[in-house]
């Protein structure tokens, strides 16, 4: 079956059935679809939401992929954040959220970056009103669950065919402190993937001349926590790319470094697939 996008859901899915690679690509934060219900609830200009976007990192992933199953969210992160769990609902803006003591909330939720982001550091509070339980539940049912179902199904299909599956969850980040890493690899401190997969991704970064760090400041979020299961042959890595590496000076369009970053990601994908195929099918499936 030829590779093709399917757009009836709020994400695109590219790839063949059965899968042609043990590697699966996820791009959850690059969506640029801002529904009318979102726009009418804003207390800030729409531009205030742009820092939440992993701006055009979906273009990087699409250009880099060859035959890997690839799932790309279309809906904006401001609508719902797929890298947060369903229970990270913010009681300050969500009437259906369970009131949880502050000390028991995740750091992201406390900072206003829960399932539906409440604020950004640049724009401050985003919403002119609170959302009803029905509104947020609809987003969970129509956006959050279908995306995770698609990622989970892709990983299961890859493991069924190859005995092993590797998820590369692709994100972008603002520049870190001067002299800091330009790329961050997250594996939840070794819990989401065997070290050999992290090592080949890291080696690709070094070979391309990029400084790289592991798990600091991004160790991987809900997507890795939910889908990674190295003990059963499903590995997952979160990749954070400095946006200045591939965007123009205004951070709105591809820049001079775009092709270099695409080449880097393609090398990573090939290296992950090669490493995965080093594991005998029977051993991986045990």
207: Cβ contacts below 8 Å, ≥ 6 apart: 267
- The CA–CA distances, whole Å, from 114 to 80, 88, 181, 192, 205 equal 9, 5, 26, 22, 30
Q: Where are the alpha helices (DSSP H) in the chain?
A: 36-41, 57-64, 107-110, 133-139, 145-162, 195-207, 222-227, 258-277, 281-285
* Rg from Cα positions in the chain: 18
Q: Please give the pLDDT value at position 105.
A: 84
In 3D, which of 28, 27, 48, 55 has the Cα closest to residue 252? 55
Give the number of other Cβ atoms within 10 Å of residue 5's Cβ. 12
CATH 3.40.630.40 fits 11-285, yes or no: yes
Q: For every one of its 286 residues, what pLDDT tens digit does the chain have, with 9 covering 90 and above?
A: 445 444 468 999 999 999 999 999 999 999 999 999 999 999 999 999 999 999 999 999 999 999 999 999 999 999 999 999 999 999 999 999 987 777 778 889 999 999 999 999 999 999 999 999 999 999 999 999 999 999 999 999 999 999 999 999 999 999 999 989 999 999 999 999 999 999 999 999 999 999 999 999 999 999 999 999 999 999 999 999 999 999 999 999 999 999 999 999 999 999 999 999 997 554 444 4
Please give the model's pTM, rounded to 2 decimal places.
0.94
């Amino acid at each position: 079956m030829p590779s093709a996008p399917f757009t009836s859901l709020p994400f695109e899915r590219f790839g063949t059935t059965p899968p042609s690679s043990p590697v699966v690509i996820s791009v959850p934060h690059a969506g640029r679809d801002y529904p009318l219900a979102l726009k009418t609830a804003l207390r800030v200009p729409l531009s205030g939401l742009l820092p939440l976007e992993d701006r055009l990192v979906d273009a990087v992933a699409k250009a880099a992929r060859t035959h890997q199953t690839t799932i790309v969210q279309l809906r904006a992160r401001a609508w719902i954040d797929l890298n947060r769990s369903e229970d990270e609902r913010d009681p300050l803006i969500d009437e259906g959220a369970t009131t949880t003591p502050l000390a028991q909330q995740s750091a992201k939720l406390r900072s206003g970056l829960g399932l539906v982001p409440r604020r950004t550091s640049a724009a401050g509070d985003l919403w002119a009103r609170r959302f009803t339980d029905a509104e947020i539940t609809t987003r969970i049912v129509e956006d959050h669950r279908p995306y995770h179902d698609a990622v989970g199904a892709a990983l299961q299909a890859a493991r069924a065919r190859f005995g092993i599956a590797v998820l590369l969850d692709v994100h972008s980040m603002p520049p870190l402190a001067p002299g800091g890493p330009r790329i961050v690899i997250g594996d939840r401190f070794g819990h989401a993937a065997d070290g050999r997969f992290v090592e080949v991704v890291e080696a690709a970064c070094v070979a391309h001349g990029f400084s790289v760090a592991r798990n600091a400041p991004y160790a991987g979020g809900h997507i890795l926590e939910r889908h990674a299961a190295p003990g059963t042959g499903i590995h997952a890595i979160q990749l954070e790319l400095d946006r200045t590496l591939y965007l123009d000076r205004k951070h709105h369009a591809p820049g001079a470094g775009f092709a270099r970053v695409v080449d880097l990601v393609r090398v990573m994908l090939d290296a992950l697939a090669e490493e995965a195929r080093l594991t005998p099918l029977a051993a991986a499936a045990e």
